[in-house]
Chain A
Amino acid sequence: MDIKHVAKLANLPLTADEEKRFSAQLTAILNLVSQLQKVPTKNVVPTSQVTGQENVFRDDKIETERILTQDEALSNAKKTYNGYFVVPRIFKNDH
């Protein structure tokens, strides 16, 4: 595993020590889970959830009960300004 690359994708700031330690541990974990390669799964449909449900919707209605006031919304933020959450300057980027 390319630890630096994966940590970057995961947005995890790892220390040099962690990178080193995890490297061996993650390899061991991946070896363990790789046992699965032994199970034949040709033409087996993957299962991503087991609810057995389909078409669960809500009606298009405004629901005031759960709406937070601006103060509530911001109440756990480290930094706010004039009703906004504040983060260090982000340069325009795309997604």
Chain B
Amino acid sequence: MTIDECYQNIGRIADKTNAFITVISKAEAVKKMQHAKSFLSGVPFVLKDSYVTKHIKTTAASNVLKDYLPQYSATVYRRLEGAGAILLGKMNMDAWGHGGTSENTDFGPVKNPWDLTRVAGGSGGGPAVAVVTDCADFAIGEDTGGSIRNPAAWCGITGLKVTYGRVSRYGCIAYASSFDTVGPTARTAQQCARILRVIAGKDPYDATSSNKPVPDYVGQLKKPLGKLTIGWPKELFGEGLDWEIKIAIEQARRELEKHGIKIKEISMPLFSYGVPVYYIIAPSETSSNLGRYDGVRFGNGRENFTSETKRRIMVGTYALSAGYYDAYYKKAQQVRTLFIKEYAKALSECDMVLMPVNPTPPPKIGELINDPVKKLLADYYTTSQNPVGVPSLALPCGFTRSGLPIGMQLVGKMFSEDLLLQVGYRYQQATDWHTRKPKL
């Protein structure tokens, strides 16, 4: 897309959707354009507002940081700029990543472009909206328990949660440090491959970033698939899953089979413990990560956290506190070990696992906000991958009768992004769900 087109679309949708927190001035964007000559030369993109950008307001969608002008830039932003990509905006989200609907924000809830009365998903609602409305070619999201995949599925685009450590977290405002991953979201798997090529790899500023070589994700896309087996965890398609979503994914399954991919039923009996494991460890880590927001060196005081954020800080503080540590934090870290084994077993029987992203289509704005527990269960399918670290690619695979997007995810082995993208590319060659655009 041209920068002009993007700015036209931004003008058209920004107010309607609340997707943007900051729009970079067009003059500024065009200025950078002239210097660019590289792998992503002139490619317009947006960042979830959880990435620090030097001298560009960065809020994490919280009033705590509403006036914060960072003194440095995130590695992912520097790499993209270095490759010539042009930043157009910083996107709305659930504050600090705390949420799955982008309603937990001090900048107004992000609205779904397919139905403005519904949520866009979260925590990266803004980035997904920007992509599906053509405000940018791609966005960088941050996935701690579905924050890239969930809005991608509810907005009808492609989103990649990378293997933990594949992309540097330096400059990504931490939610839960051992779950946080930095990844691309775009219309297609092909575009995601292109972005990942630029942002993946070791960063000396992030001790948890991997020094595994970065494959040529783009070059691999068109290679023959070879003999592939996709696991089908039958218990994940039972009660609690919306029937339209189930049908859409079954249809996708048949499409994949047409490409010679074998589908194999597998079992993941511990899967349903994903939510409790996630909702102990992530709040524990966030209670510590958010300790730095004391209003002394930057930002505003702690009373400015939203209710959702305060609840998570409270849960985490409690789970780590004397007398409860063993029953909560340590217990969850033990079950995490069992999860790792469960995924290892499942992925020894197949090359990747196919499963839903959301149990339901996007709910109405306000529907979940006062029911924290129901909200947690909406994350049922996306919370168990992060404690394990495995990558997952969310792909659009249909629409409900009422015209809301449906997504599915392919969960792979550690560092198998290349294979996930290859299958995603193949699937998108044969389907057009990812090309559809909301009429706004």
- Taking the complex as a whole, does A directly touch B, i.e. does some CB pair lie under 8 Å apart? yes
| Chain A interface (Cβ < 8 Å from any Cβ of B) | 1, 3, 6-7, 9-14, 18, 21-22, 25-26, 28-30, 32-37, 39, 41, 44-53, 56, 58, 66, 68, 72-73, 75-78, 85, 87
User: A87 is contacted by which of B210, B296, B327, B376 (Cβ under 8 Å)?
Assistant: B296
Closest residue to B372 on the A side, CB-wise?
Answer: A25
A10–B314 CA distance with the chains assembled, in angstroms: 7
Known: A22-B310, A36-B273, A76-B68. A47 touches B337 (CB 8 A): yes
Number of contacting residues on B, CB 8 A?
59
Q: Is the Cβ of B294 less than 8 Å from the Cβ of A45?
A: no
Q: Is the Cβ of B311 less than 8 Å from the Cβ of A25?
A: yes
A-B contacts, 28 listed (Cβ < 8 Å): A1-B314, A9-B317, A11-B291, A12-B313, A13-B302, A13-B303, A14-B310, A22-B314, A29-B279, A29-B373, A32-B276, A33-B279, A33-B332, A34-B276, A36-B273, A39-B335, A45-B334, A47-B333, A47-B336, A50-B164, A50-B387, A51-B164, A53-B165, A68-B71, A76-B67, A76-B297, A78-B296, A85-B297
* Residues of B with C-beta under 8 A to A75: 69, 71
Interface of B, secondary structure class, is helix
Q: Is the Cβ of A28 less than 8 Å from the Cβ of B373?
A: yes
* Residues of B with C-beta under 8 A to A7: 314
Q: Is the Cβ of B295 less than 8 Å from the Cβ of A78?
A: yes
* Residues of B with C-beta under 8 A to A11: 291, 294, 302
* Residues of B with C-beta under 8 A to A30: 315, 318
B267 within 8 A of A: no
A32–B379 CA distance with the chains assembled, in angstroms: 13
User: A50 is contacted by which of B273, B275, B338, B340 (Cβ under 8 Å)?
Assistant: B340
Q: Give the 3 A-B residue pairs with the shortest CB-CB distance, closest first.
A: A46-B333, A76-B298, A50-B389
Q: B381-421 interface mask toward A, CB cutoff 8 Å, 1 = contact, 0 = none?
A: 00000011100000000000000000000000010000000
A77–B273 CA distance with the chains assembled, in angstroms: 42
B191 within 8 A of A: no
Closest residue to A79 on the B side, CB-wise?
Answer: B296
Q: Is the Cβ of B307 less than 8 Å from the Cβ of A77?
A: no
Interface centre among B178, B204, B305, B315 (most CB of A within 10 A): B315
Known: A6-B314, A10-B313, A51-B164. A41 touches B338 (CB 8 A): yes
A68–B55 CA distance with the chains assembled, in angstroms: 13
A9–B318 CA distance with the chains assembled, in angstroms: 9
User: A77 is contacted by which of B208, B297, B332 (Cβ under 8 Å)?
Assistant: B297
A25–B287 CA distance with the chains assembled, in angstroms: 17
Closest residue to A55 on the B side, CB-wise?
Answer: B207
Known: A32-B376, A53-B210. A12 touches B297 (CB 8 A): no
Q: Is the Cβ of A58 less than 8 Å from the Cβ of B204?
A: yes
A39–B273 CA distance with the chains assembled, in angstroms: 9
Closest residue to B386 on the A side, CB-wise?
Answer: A50
Q: Is the Cβ of B334 less than 8 Å from the Cβ of A41?
A: yes
Q: B46-73 interface mask toward A, CB cutoff 8 Å, 1 = contact, 0 = none?
A: 0000000000000000000001110110
Task: Output the least CB separation between A84 and chain B (Å).
Answer: 11
